[in-house]
Amino acid sequence: MKAIIVDFDGDYLIVANSRGDFKRIYNNYPGCQIGDEITVKENMAVLLRSMLSSKKVLTLAACLLCMLITSYGIYGYMNPVTYVTVDINPSVEFSLNRYDVVRGARGLNEEGKIIIGDGREYKNMKFDKALNLVLSKAVERDFLNKDANTVMLTVSNVKDSISSDKKKQLEEIAKTQLSNIIEKEEKVTPTEQQKPDTLVESSNTNGAKNNVKDTNKSKFKVIVEDTTYKKHQEAKKKEVSQGKLLLYEKLKQVKPDAALSHVKEASVSQILREIEKVKQELKDKSEARPNGNSSDKRKPTDEDKKQQLKNIKQLENSMNKQLKDIQKENKDELKEKIKETKEQLKNYRKEIKDNVSREIKKELKDKEENINKSGQRKNNPSDKKNDKRPRDFKNEAKTKNRNKNNKN
């Protein structure tokens, strides 16, 4: 039987025959290499079908798949991916896995630590039950009351993938748990006439309200916000909830000198009221300005419009008059400057002319003196004695001879 060597296994060879079967045979082929074709005897072959049989391969694959699924499930259960802070004052934080099961709970301030304790009570609890327990304890200890009547839920995700459905789901959970708490309070309240009826109200943007009677509490408001995982980490460093960090940033926009320590200690209701108060003060100041737009201003009548036009015309005439006066002043000033400039030029010309005349006269005088000096030197006999020109002996001899002849 012909086979091709595909691998070495110590003193053995792994070969593949024409049918695609793999066999392990003893290496009786010195000098052979992978890829060589050899002849194999049937009694030497050890078939590896048992190792690579389809049944065992499928079993192994199924085991691996089960291990992967199990490990993924364990990882998904153990690791938190979503963080929800509940702010009333107390402030608490829940770490949820992908199945909305609480994997960790902690108080973020003194009141929150009173509510949460060491957090073991909440571990492995579904989030809706954990929220119910927190709100119940807040009502019991009077943290949630007519003055601090707002519950703020802020959610962040490690992948920053908070959908509007998730926010709506959290809001519904909070509303439902508050309603359950109120119903429970109603059952234990002896009479309904002792305290006024109130409502549970959600701050959902669509304006829908879930109203349930309450014999003991004022209106409860539910606010749901989302933020980024980066903001969650920033809040963690500043030792404040991610929800209160958002409120602090909103307060800083209208009140730049706001302190984070104040936001940490105040309830959500107090912070929201403070923001609204500052906004209203700024609005009132803006309306009090001369150019402020006030909603209670009366509509201008025709007489008002005529008076406004008249005022505009008067202002226009006044401006034109001022412009003419300015132009006249500028014109007179310009004339004066031109006159001064001409006078200066005239003086400059005169000065230059005088200087030139003096220089010319001086130069002429110098030349005249030089000429006079040269004339005096010619007439001066001493100059002849001092004349050092070379003597012409030939001419002198001729002159002597001429004089001698004249005597004779």
Are 149 and 253 found together in one domain? yes
Rounded CA-CA distance 357/350 in Å is 10
Q: What is the pLDDT of residue 192?
A: 44
Q: Which of 254, 288, 322 is the last residue of a domain?
A: 288
Side-chain half-sphere of 393: how many Cα atoms within 13 Å? 0
Q: 331 in a domain, yes or no?
A: no
Rounded CA-CA distance 245/258 in Å is 12
| pLDDT for 214 beyond 50 | no
Q: What is the pLDDT of residue 392?
A: 62
Are 108 and 246 found together in one domain? yes
Q: 312 in a domain, yes or no?
A: no
Are 32 and 173 found together in one domain? no
- Model pLDDT for residues 262-289, shown as the tens digit of each residue: 999 899 999 999 999 988 888 888 777 6
Q: 316 in a domain, yes or no?
A: no
Are 195 and 263 found together in one domain? yes
Give me the percent of the chain exceeding a pLDDT of 90. 22
Are 253 and 124 found together in one domain? yes
Provide the domain limits for residue 98. 80-288
Are 189 and 242 found together in one domain? yes
Q: What is the pLDDT of residue 92?
A: 95
Q: Which of 52, 71, 94 is the last residue of a domain?
A: 52
Q: 91 in a domain, yes or no?
A: yes
Cα 120 to chain centroid, rounded: 39
Q: 140 in a domain, yes or no?
A: yes
CB 200 within 8 A of CB 214: yes
Local confidence band at 54 (pLDDT 50, 70, 90 cut-offs): low
| Residue from 100, 92, 107, 78 nearest 157 by CA | 100
The total domain count for the chain is: 2
Q: Which of 288, 310, 327 is the last residue of a domain?
A: 288
Task: Please enumerate, as own/partner, the contacts of 390-398 that have beta carbons within 8 Å and a separation of 24 or more.
Answer: none
Q: 12 in a domain, yes or no?
A: yes
Are 12 and 142 found together in one domain? no
Q: 229 in a domain, yes or no?
A: yes
Mean of the pLDDT values across residues 319-340? 82
